[in-house]
Chain A
């Protein structure tokens, strides 16, 4: 039994059960992403404490002021403090992400799982995804907003609509891939039922890809929802949203530059942060696999 001794040294003593999520987020890019998102989330959560004004308070005489000590980003066209509006805008954006992305993931994932199990459902789901994917999300957004009117609802719908096929396809292909693996074959050969294989092998093993996609989707969702708010088909005024504040700022570029720069920076940091988290997780998963 020479080999037992020989290999013993290479084997780690402590089992490390959640390496991907942990390793992905504690180093390098993933860590930067977590910090960026953390800061923004904190700004959003603490907005009531941090914001010097109410986001809807119209301050008398403060029409389109430039940046100053009292108004770090200046004031807007109806005399509100842009800084406070940006802080509160983070909340609504994150809130939509928090609702829509998991919803899209769950729905898409379920459809993907069902599709991977039966041939007819698969063909149907694939074509349906094709059709949905053929419409750019922004056009979808304009269309849905025309039906439902502006508001949070169409934004949530569009984000879900955009994410759903992504998760559906991801889960489907990942499931089909995992199903071909010998350990699933082994389980089936020993008489395990479909449900057993799905629950015990497939779902746990595709979870990592789903989590990476969650981070990517969050980034994409911030894009879509701020674009819709930017186009004026999202959150209704006077509720502040990042895209909405940016859109309002577009008309005032000449008067107050910071008005646009504030929301712009936050959006960039958000999408970038989620993107970095996704990259970190992905790198960790690849590292873990090799």
Chain B
């Protein structure tokens, strides 16, 4: 076996008052992709920063990080600088902020070349062109600014920037997390191509098991700052050796798998229905374009689409926050057009809302109990005492317990907050629940438990639900029917099993095909070029 290029040995990182990484040891071999997986707070990103000596002030790293036999920990700034970019490069999660917004992208790549000794402006310009070409960006766009590129293009440019000084090791920290699935598929393909072509050793940091299955040769599972196990990718997926890894894999929602028992479609009048709906945002093209859709009582309708598809806009229409430019919107049979504020409020009493970001959707100054009783207070349901009793009952239902009532949101974890939000949404026994990306900010295992709770509650209360998500697998798990949206238009809709396994439109097919499957063998078999061809068909 060859010697590792990068060896992390007994690395610990401490912040004042907390330990982020404890005794982590990893070895990255040349030409391999080592994935580090774990949920938030597991210390995987801190490890990456520690390798490059980029920890924030106040953090201390102990142990050893050796590159090619050279110890990196404790190296002075200048020596480290020469390692960064030239030997070890880093790609970041968020492409929209990873580039300097006020400089031309070509200049930014040039800066890296300049830092590593390319003095001539001419030479830099040429090399920038080459690099952009390699990542699939037309070289003449070097003179454009970051905001003139799409998210996927930005991530390509970030890759070009990272690889400008020809490093041996690439640390990719959640390189595709912020991207839509179809774009993610392209970037994964590009990463693979670059890795092969340059014989890069890649340390891939991710929480997405599908991405791991797609790219990794070996996998290290981290939790609470420690490495639990390091395995060959196939072995891990087939037979994880730790309980945590097993739980983690089990939590991942999968597409092909049957989600829930299909309920028979009811003939009852829909709780929410739009007909030929058009919504405009001032100065832009239609946000929603001739949508016809209905949610029947007790039904969960999954609304899927990539960013900018209009799914959140539709959600706002449902609660009467946005008016229609044309077409009709009916809520519980009432046409929303021309409704007064009071009538609208009465209708809203029958809707519960759960937002995407559990951290922001609770007022930081109100206790959990106050937040849950708020809908009751607003609609003056019962007496203050009965409201508290109802809130405590709800707390029990969302598996938190009444002792949580006196806490403030910041004393809760993300999952707990989302449970509180769910309790609040259910306080008035709504007939319709609007859930806008309710789990996308949560870790997989938390997501699994919240989804489980959601299913239980839906079973028990029987509310209808408009469930908005970008994650096909999640929708597959919870929804009776699915509606797929793109660019403000409804692409197709139908029973979940049908749409997600036998899509009738090319776009839905491309979406489904782009989702990496958390199984190494299956994923490697189905990945590109299938995806690319299906994408081209939709263009």
Residues of A at under 8 Å CB distance from B?
1-4, 6-7, 10-12, 15-17, 181-183, 185-193, 196, 200-201, 204-205
Query: Which of B357, B374, B379, B445 is within 8 Å of A3, CB to CB?
Result: B445
Across the interface, which residues of A come within 8 angstroms of B349, CB to CB?
Answer: 190-191
Q: Are A3 and B413 in contact (CB under 8 A)?
A: yes
Q: Residues 354-376 of chain B: 1 if any A CB is under 8 Å from the residue's CB, otherwise 0? A: 01110011111111000000110
Q: Are A189 and B353 in contact (CB under 8 A)?
A: yes
Q: Are A190 and B348 in contact (CB under 8 A)?
A: yes
**Nearest residue in A to B379 (C-beta to C-beta)?**
A191
Q: Are A182 and B360 in contact (CB under 8 A)?
A: yes
Q: Residues 240-275 of chain B: 1 if any A CB is under 8 Å from the residue's CB, otherwise 0? A: 000010010000000000000000000000000000
Most interface-central of A12, A186, A192, A196 (chain B CB within 10 A): A186
Across the interface, which residues of B come within 8 angstroms of A190, CB to CB?
Answer: 348-349, 351-353, 374-375, 378, 424, 428
Instruction: Tell me if B307 counts as interface (CB < 8 A to partner A).
Output: no
Q: Are A193 and B345 in contact (CB under 8 A)?
A: yes
**Nearest residue in A to B315 (C-beta to C-beta)?**
A189
Q: Are B408 and A15 in contact (CB under 8 A)?
A: yes
Across the interface, which residues of B come within 8 angstroms of A193, CB to CB?
Answer: 341, 345, 378
Question: A11-B413, A15-B406 known; A2 and B445 CB under 8 Å?
Answer: yes
Assembly CA distance A201 to B363 (angstroms): 7
14 chain-A/chain-B pairs, Cβ below 8 angstroms: A2-B445, A7-B416, A12-B411, A15-B407, A183-B363, A186-B421, A190-B351, A190-B352, A190-B375, A190-B428, A191-B378, A192-B378, A204-B363, A205-B365
Assembly CA distance A17 to B446 (angstroms): 27
Across the interface, which residues of A come within 8 angstroms of B351, CB to CB?
Answer: 189-190
Query: Which of B352, B364, B374, B411 is within 8 Å of A200, CB to CB?
Result: B374
Assembly CA distance A10 to B445 (angstroms): 18
Assembly CA distance A103 to B424 (angstroms): 39
Instruction: Tell me if B443 counts as interface (CB < 8 A to partner A).
Output: yes
Q: Are B411 and A15 in contact (CB under 8 A)?
A: yes
Chain A nearest Cβ from B57, distance in angstroms: 15
Query: Which of B361, B364, B411 is within 8 Å of A186, CB to CB?
Result: B361
**Nearest residue in B to A204 (C-beta to C-beta)?**
B365
Extra contacts besides A183-B361, A191-B347 (8): CB < 8 Å: A6-B413, A7-B413, A7-B416, A183-B362, A186-B355, A191-B344, A191-B378, A201-B363
Assembly CA distance A182 to B366 (angstroms): 14
For the A-B complex, the count of residue pairs with Cβ-Cβ distances under 8 Å equals: 98
Most interface-central of A7, A181, A191, A205 (chain B CB within 10 A): A191
Assembly CA distance A181 to B408 (angstroms): 17
Assembly CA distance A16 to B410 (angstroms): 10
**Nearest residue in B to A13 (C-beta to C-beta)?**
B411
Across the interface, which residues of A come within 8 angstroms of B413, CB to CB?
Answer: 3-4, 6-7, 10-11
Chain A interface helix/strand/loop/mixed: helix
Assembly CA distance A167 to B416 (angstroms): 37
Query: Which of B224, B352, B379, B406 is within 8 Å of A6, CB to CB?
Result: B224
Chain A nearest Cβ from B135, distance in angstroms: 34
Q: Are B416 and A186 in contact (CB under 8 A)?
A: no
Instruction: Tell me if B412 counts as interface (CB < 8 A to partner A).
Output: yes
Across the interface, which residues of B come within 8 angstroms of A200, CB to CB?
Answer: 363, 366, 374
Q: Are A3 and B408 in contact (CB under 8 A)?
A: no
Assembly CA distance A205 to B360 (angstroms): 13
Instruction: Tell me if B415 counts as interface (CB < 8 A to partner A).
Output: yes
Assembly CA distance A196 to B364 (angstroms): 16
Instruction: Tell me if B449 counts as interface (CB < 8 A to partner A).
Output: yes
Q: Residues 405-427 of chain B: 1 if any A CB is under 8 Å from the residue's CB, otherwise 0? A: 01110011101100001001000
Most interface-central of B244, B360, B406 (chain A CB within 10 A): B360
Q: Are A3 and B363 in contact (CB under 8 A)?
A: no
Q: Residues 67-91 of chain B: 1 if any A CB is under 8 Å from the residue's CB, otherwise 0? A: 0000000000000000000000000
Q: Are A191 and B348 in contact (CB under 8 A)?
A: yes
Across the interface, which residues of B come within 8 angstroms of A10, CB to CB?
Answer: 413
5 smallest beta-carbon distances between A and B, as pairs? A7-B413, A191-B348, A182-B361, A191-B345, A189-B353
Instruction: Tell me if B321 counts as interface (CB < 8 A to partner A).
Output: yes
Assembly CA distance A122 to B323 (angstroms): 23
Question: A183-B363, A190-B353 known; A3 and B443 CB under 8 Å?
Answer: yes
Chain A nearest Cβ from B425, distance in angstroms: 8
Question: A182-B355, A201-B363 known; A4 and B321 CB under 8 Å?
Answer: no
**Nearest residue in B to A184 (C-beta to C-beta)?**
B363
Assembly CA distance A112 to B399 (angstroms): 42
Assembly CA distance A201 to B351 (angstroms): 20
Assembly CA distance A201 to B443 (angstroms): 29
Assembly CA distance A196 to B348 (angstroms): 15
Q: Are A3 and B321 in contact (CB under 8 A)?
A: no
Assembly CA distance A187 to B428 (angstroms): 13
Assembly CA distance A2 to B246 (angstroms): 13
Assembly CA distance A190 to B428 (angstroms): 9
**Nearest residue in B to A196 (C-beta to C-beta)?**
B378
Instruction: Tell me if B131 counts as interface (CB < 8 A to partner A).
Output: no
Chain A nearest Cβ from B406, distance in angstroms: 6
Q: Are A3 and B365 in contact (CB under 8 A)?
A: no
Instruction: Tell me if B300 counts as interface (CB < 8 A to partner A).
Output: no
Assembly CA distance A196 to B449 (angstroms): 34
Q: Are B407 and A185 in contact (CB under 8 A)?
A: no
**Nearest residue in A to B400 (C-beta to C-beta)?**
A4
Q: Are A1 and B399 in contact (CB under 8 A)?
A: yes
Assembly CA distance A188 to B412 (angstroms): 23
Assembly CA distance A6 to B362 (angstroms): 22
Across the interface, which residues of B come within 8 angstroms of A182, CB to CB?
Answer: 355-357, 360-361
Q: Are A11 and B348 in contact (CB under 8 A)?
A: no
Across the interface, which residues of A come within 8 angstroms of B375, CB to CB?
Answer: 190-191
Q: Are B408 and A188 in contact (CB under 8 A)?
A: no
Chain B nearest Cβ from A2, distance in angstroms: 6
**Nearest residue in B to A201 (C-beta to C-beta)?**
B363
Most interface-central of B345, B367, B406, B428 (chain A CB within 10 A): B345
Instruction: Tell me if B278 counts as interface (CB < 8 A to partner A).
Output: no
Across the interface, which residues of A come within 8 angstroms of B365, CB to CB?
Answer: 17, 204-205
Query: Which of A3, A15, A192, A196 is within 8 Å of B415, CB to CB?
Result: A3
Across the interface, which residues of A come within 8 angstroms of B356, CB to CB?
Answer: 182
Assembly CA distance A15 to B347 (angstroms): 35
Chain A nearest Cβ from B304, distance in angstroms: 21
Question: A1-B449, A4-B416 known; A181 and B378 CB under 8 Å?
Answer: no
Q: Are B408 and A7 in contact (CB under 8 A)?
A: no
Instruction: Tell me if B236 counts as interface (CB < 8 A to partner A).
Output: no
Assembly CA distance A186 to B224 (angstroms): 33
**Nearest residue in A to B319 (C-beta to C-beta)?**
A189
Question: A3-B449, A192-B378 known; A181 and B348 CB under 8 Å?
Answer: no
Chain A nearest Cβ from B170, distance in angstroms: 30
Assembly CA distance A186 to B345 (angstroms): 13
Chain A nearest Cβ from B251, distance in angstroms: 10
Assembly CA distance A182 to B418 (angstroms): 13
Q: Are B412 and A11 in contact (CB under 8 A)?
A: yes
